[in-house]
Amino acid sequence: MIITGKQLVGYSRSGKGTQQFESQVTGENGKPFLFYEATTEEVATAVQKAQEAFDVSRGLSGKQLAAFLEAMAAELILALPTVIAVTQQETGLPAKRLEGEMDRTTKQIQMFATLLTEGSWVNAIIDPAIPDRAPLPKADIRQMQRPIGPVAVFGASNFPYAFSVAGGDTISALAAGCPVVYKAHPGHPVTSELIGECILKAAVATNMPEGIFSLVQGTSHETGRALVTHPAIKAVAFTGSFNGGKALYDVAAQRPEPVPVYAEMGSVNPVFVLPGMLQEKGTAIAQALVASNTAGTGQFCTNPGIIVSLKAEETAKFLADFCEGINGAAGSRMLTDNIYRSYTGGVERLRQIAGMQAIGAGTATAENNSAIPHSFLISGNAFLSEENMYEEVFGPASIQVMASNTNELYEIADKMPGQLTVTVWGTTADLENFKSLIFLLEKKAGRLLLNSVPTGVEVTHAMMHGGPYPATTDSKYTSVGSTAIYRFTRPVCYQGFPEFLLPEALRNENSLNIWRQVNGGFNKDSL
């Protein structure tokens, strides 16, 4: 394993910085690998190369870009054993979990390759000319999605593959034909360099232009700011904490030319357990929620952090079952020192809230930064009297909220800010009785779940992993699933163009055999 600790700037390696930081992984000499902090100049060179690459990548066919993605997935599979061993040391995540995440990551890359090969994702729309229309002739108007330009990507520490260097943000941007400059997370710099190298190998093998992908490392926020403020960057994708996402969003908004920032941030993913279902399956629901809340030491953005139910005779048993599960749960090493500090601080904050009762606590392991799972209880009334109750405590902590009546339950739902997910557990009768609750909750989240747990985000075409602010900075888009590609495209309309100047997808002959909207109807016909 060769680790340079340098920036991957196009096809060159660059280590011009005077500052270095240590990784948690040691080399053969027993010393931690050292990484150069990227300089502003190196960030600018990476963006410059991305800008030049864009003039080539936007002319590539879907099949050429698909070949790049396929080659990348193959490189990652080849590198798997080395990468997993390293990531385990850097993150403390178990090998099995990492294998699963890598499988999901390569399948996600292949899904985008299939999308590009099929080709209809470009949303070709053709309104043919009507030269003899009275009183004025109608021009020939055609539209399709085109890439937006070089994209800056920031990934989170809790998904070192799926939301990192070769994760959904990078892949959907590359699939759209946009070069990517990736700011590596300092929580896993060695993993980042290894995966960055896989992307570059695939790029070389498939004749991608230099600059299609670059990776810069750094612990200083300056690196990220320099990237976001570079005038050639045309969009930013961020996955991580609310503070990080909002800070970069604000930086981008102050640019002379503002650009879209797709920040996917934290969420508490409230769960409503309705009375009929609680009575019928209370114990099973409690067990499912404990498992979901403590999986991966609670370090999932879809972790169910708030569980709301109506006070009733059966609720005591449900709470007892939930506490039993939490008391028996063991946390483990958290991803980074910062995340551990912020988790213990968050638990302390919950303890201090008026009316909050600590009702369950699990155990920690002997590892450094090992988290203890916690469970709290608060009345609906006390919950509603406090501000910031929906703030994320990233880790295995949850709050049971006991509403004293239906009105209170609706108020709790109404007060909720934007979320990635909201879950309802209910029998058919419950769902009939609480139909208006579901209607209300639709305003609050990107994904609504029934009788399930929110952790485990499927990578599918219909997935929506996003939601109203503060879950994200743009509720219209998902960061998971094939429609994530539309964050990095913009519609371009071609009016009165001759055949030879039109992109292939819009020509009369449908040589790509894609679905197109012609005069308002969908078909695969040639004109």
Under the binding rule (CB under 6 A), the answer on residue 159 touching ligand NAP is yes
Quick one: which segment of 57-65, 127-135, 181-189, 206-214 binds ligand NAP (CB under 6 A)? 181-189
Residue 8 or 301: which CB sits closer to ligand NAP? 301
Contact 297, 333 (CB under 8 A): yes
443 to 61, 63, 210: CA distances (angstroms): 39, 39, 44
Contact 469, 263 (CB under 8 A): no
| 493 catalytic residue (yes or no) | no
Residue 72 or 335: which CB sits closer to ligand NAP? 335
In the complex, the smallest distance separating the C-beta of residue 242 from ligand NAP, rounded to whole angstroms, is 6
Residue 248 or 277: which CB sits closer to ligand NAP? 248
Reference 296, options 114, 131, 101; nearest CA is: 101
Separation between Cα atoms, residue 465 and residue 453, nearest integer Å: 14
In the complex, the smallest distance separating the C-beta of residue 256 from ligand NAP, rounded to whole angstroms, is 19
Under the binding rule (CB under 6 A), the answer on residue 102 touching ligand NAP is no
Under the binding rule (CB under 6 A), the answer on residue 186 touching ligand NAP is yes
Separation between Cα atoms, residue 174 and residue 160, nearest integer Å: 19
Under the binding rule (CB under 6 A), the answer on residue 389 touching ligand NAP is no
319 to 173, 273, 281, 302, 377: CA distances (angstroms): 45, 12, 13, 21, 9
Among 183, 230, 333, 374, binds ligand NAP (CB under 6 A): 183
Tell me the two tokens of residue 378: 């608060």
E strands of 370-461, at which residues? 374-379, 397-403, 419-425, 445-450
Under the binding rule (CB under 6 A), the answer on residue 154 touching ligand NAP is yes
Residues 246-305 that bind ligand NAP (CB under 6 A): 247-248, 264-266, 301
Q: Pick the catalytic residue: 301, 323, 392, 408?
A: 301
Residue 265 burial (10 A CB sphere; 0-12, 13-18, 19+)? buried
Residue 45 or 479: which CB sits closer to ligand NAP? 479
Among 244, 282, 396, 503, binds ligand NAP (CB under 6 A): 244
Q: CA quadruple 454, 456, 460, 465: dihedral positive or negative? A: positive
Phi, psi angles (nearest 5°) of residue 108: -65, -40
Residue 49 or 185: which CB sits closer to ligand NAP? 185
Catalytic machinery residues: 264, 301
Binding site for ligand NAP (CB under 6 A): 154, 156-159, 163, 183, 185-187, 219, 221, 224-225, 239-241, 244, 247-248, 264-266, 301, 339, 392, 394, 420, 465, 479
